[in-house]
Each structure stands twice: as structure tokens, then as C-alpha cells.
Amino acid sequence: MTPPKETNEEILKLLAVLPLDIQKALRESADLTTLIEVVLDLGKPAEARFAKRSISIGGTVNQGDIDYITARVGQFLGTTGQELRGPFIGSPLSATARGGSSA
């Protein structure tokens, strides 16, 4: 079954704001169309969560990665994690960036 065109467009919008190494890892994933979220916890490996699995997608997230993304999206909102609001507003996809450990 082919995903809706809107889903593909939203994934492309999400990829556009991510650091290049993370974009590359995601583009090489066979199940990109089932992507649910990308988790970027400062000091931890980047993670992609798909409908049926989660994978590490790059090295340890650093402040440069967070800065790269925040320079490309709109405002932050949230409490413990910061959901990015920008070109994928209203999308079933989300990108989460956390500045610190999630204890």
C-alpha cells in the first residue's frame, strides 16, 4: 500500500530541517514512509521511531545539531521535551529535541 501523498510531503519537510548525516540515514531506510518521529536528546544517539521498529540514526546529538534544526524551524513549545513547530505543523510526524537528559 502506498502512503498518502501528504505523508510523503511531510516527511520531506521534516528531512529538510535535520542535519545532513541524519537526513542521509533516514533516506537510506527502507521503511521511511512509516516514520513516526525522530528523537534528538542532547548527549544521546539520534533515534528514528518507525511503526514497527526504532533505530539509531547517527552519532551523539550535540548542541550544533540542535542549533542547526532550530535555525530552520519556527517556535518551540512543550514542557519536558520541546516539540518543534514549523513546516510540519499538523503532521502526524514530530521531531523532538531535548536539551539535557530525560531522567
Q: Does the predicted TM-score (pTM) go above 0.75?
A: no
Is the residue at 80 inside a domain? Answer: yes
Q: What share of the chain is helix, strand, coil (3-state, %, to 5)?
A: 30, 30, 40
pLDDT digits (tens, 9 = 90+) for 21-79: 999 999 999 889 899 999 999 999 999 999 999 999 989 999 999 999 988 886 555 54
Flag whether 102 is in a domain: no
- Hey, what's the cell of 70? 532550530
Q: Does residue 56 belong to any structural domain of this protein? A: yes
Using 50, 70 and 90 to split pLDDT, how confident is the model at 94? very low
> Is there a domain that residue 71 lies in?
yes
CA distance 81 to 78: 6
Domain that holds residue 60: 5-97
Domain count, the chain: 1
Residue 78 forms part of a structural domain: yes
